[in-house]
Amino acid sequence: MPVDTKRKDFVEMEDKWRRLRDCYEGRDAVLKAGEKYVPSLPAKDATENEAYRKRGSFYNAVQRTTNGMTGAVFQEAPEVEFPETIKTYLDDVTLTNIPFEMFAQEAGREVVLMSRYGVMVDMPVPPPEGIMSSDVRPYLVGYKAEDIINWRTERIGGRQVLTYLVLRELIEYVDPKDPFLCLTLCQYRVIRLVNGVCAVQLYREKGPGQKEYEIFGGAVIPTRRGVALNFIPFIFICAKNATPDLETPPLIDLADVNLGHWRNSVDYEYGLHLVALPTPWVSGARNSGDGRVPMKMGPSVVWELDVQGEAGMLEFQGAGLAAIVTAMEEKKKQMAVLGGRLLEDPSSVQETASAVRMRHASEHASLRMITQSLEVGLTLVLQILVWWDSTLVKPLDAEVSVELNKDFLNVKATAQEVTAALQALQAGKISFDTWYNFLATGDWTRDDVDADAEGKEIEAEKPPEPKPAPPPGPVRKTVLGPDGKLKYQITEEQTPPAAA
């Protein structure tokens, strides 16, 4: 069998992935698919069918939902526990100036959308002897679901171990006949575990689009400190776990409804195109010959009709297209239920934070599961990265962990809720710590400031006590004569004001 042979369950899942990917990429991708998503009109040529589809408007619910869910997970930076000695690796985990946080976001987006992503830990080939390079260190390479075409696992020593893997890659090279033209070849990376040793072999197309492959270079055996690897350094990350098993993507139902909405939009716009402009009609016109003389229109043109002749305008009443509009609105509601909560119109009734959390509970349960799977997968990846550059016995010995945000709803407590809690605090019904925890949960506090720190700042900001008035002392009293001139001055003791 050829090297590009796809695993059976991969083939069964491929069409679902194609629908999801096309929806995510948007209008251009679904248009390019042609009648795969919108059947052609009967008795119409290719040009008319292309114009028919181009009139549609694609409402990209899949992309908005995917980006919204990914943004909810990464609204706070991942907390990574990593050895200080090589922590700079996180600033560029791919040797292409991509930091770990950005790499994790890409992995999260793919897992949310496709329910599958793969990460390989690799080591670059050392430079020729005598040339120093700081980039000879392990790095990460990500693979989308469509590029992991074949794999096998076997139970070895009681554990399920990956023993065979085929990855599809695209290689760019300059056309030898034209230095300004860049061509693309398809290449397959075949990784096997043979007698406990990992071996890598490349197969490359003989020419662009030829679908014939030949071995490129010799087999490579990855090593660590001079010892061949005894496992394939590749981690699968799925929506529910970090195993090679395929899963139905969580957003596939949303994609199918999204494509149904697209078909409705195409039909609706085509209907408007046909009936939007009023069309004149005439009956009983006075013509010569067989009655096929063209009739002109304009302010200076007069139509002469027979005694029983009539003229008018055909105008669309709208009953048929109204049904399509209703169907489109229903599909929007379905997409909201299937995961696109970001597509809903804002509620006209103000909701409490707890009510919003309850309304979104089912969606966040699945998103929390995806987040936990991401944490496990990314932790395993970084453990291999650390192990490869250390003297540890096995990857699981690496003290590495990745923790992602799981507080997906950034919902503030309402002013009414804050007022009620403040009244409870003032009445002695709740403690200051309980009050502050309520404010923190409702997103009314500052980051990294706990109740104790807040209390100390409140004490520090209290205004100083007013200073007491000075004690009574003698005052000088001036007495003027009738002429307004100074008569004499006397000194007398102040009398304290009477108590109120």
Q: What is the pLDDT of residues 69-91, one digit of tens each?
A: 898 899 889 999 999 989 999 99
Q: Distance between CA atoms of 331 and 257, rounded to whole angstroms?
A: 6
What is the end-to-end Cα distance of the chain in Å, rounded?
106
Share of the chain above pLDDT 90, in %: 42
Tokens of 421: 């809690």
pLDDT, mean over the chain: 83
C-alpha dist (Å) from residue 473 to 367, 422, 467, 476: 77, 47, 17, 10
Radius of gyration of the chain (CA): 37
Residue 330 confidence (pLDDT):
84
Tokens of 213: 């492959």
Give the CA-trace dihedral at 481, 487, 491, 493, to 10 degrees. Answer: -10
100-114 vs 361-388: helix crossing angle, rounded to 10: 130
Question: Has residue 290 got a pLDDT over 90?
Answer: no
Residue 342 confidence (pLDDT):
42
pLDDT average, residue stretch 88-96: 93
Residue 402 confidence (pLDDT):
95
Per-residue pLDDT reduced to its tens digit, 369-427 = 899 999 999 999 999 999 998 999 999 999 999 999 887 766 667 778 878 887 787 77
Q: 235: closest CA among 436, 375, 338?
A: 375
Comparing 143-152, 365-374, 378-387, 429-438, which segment has the lowest mean pLDDT? 429-438
Q: Which of 360 and 160 is assigned the larger pLDDT?
A: 160
184 HSE (CA, 13 A, CB side): 4
Tokens of 224: 């660590």
Q: Which of 296 and 253 is assigned the larger pLDDT?
A: 253
Q: Are 60 and 337 in contact (CB under 8 A)?
A: no
β-pairing verdict for 197-205 and 486-493 = unpaired
How many other C-beta atoms are found inside a 10 Å radius of the C-beta of residue 207? 10
Per-residue pLDDT reduced to its tens digit, 3-15 = 999 999 999 999 9
For residue 147, give the 3-state DSSP assignment. Answer: helix
Phi and psi based region of residue 480 (left: phi greater than 0; alpha: psi -120 to 50; beta: remaining)? beta
For 392, phi then psi, to 5°, come to -65, 155
Q: Are 423 and 93 in contact (CB under 8 A)?
A: no
pLDDT average, residue stretch 183-187: 91
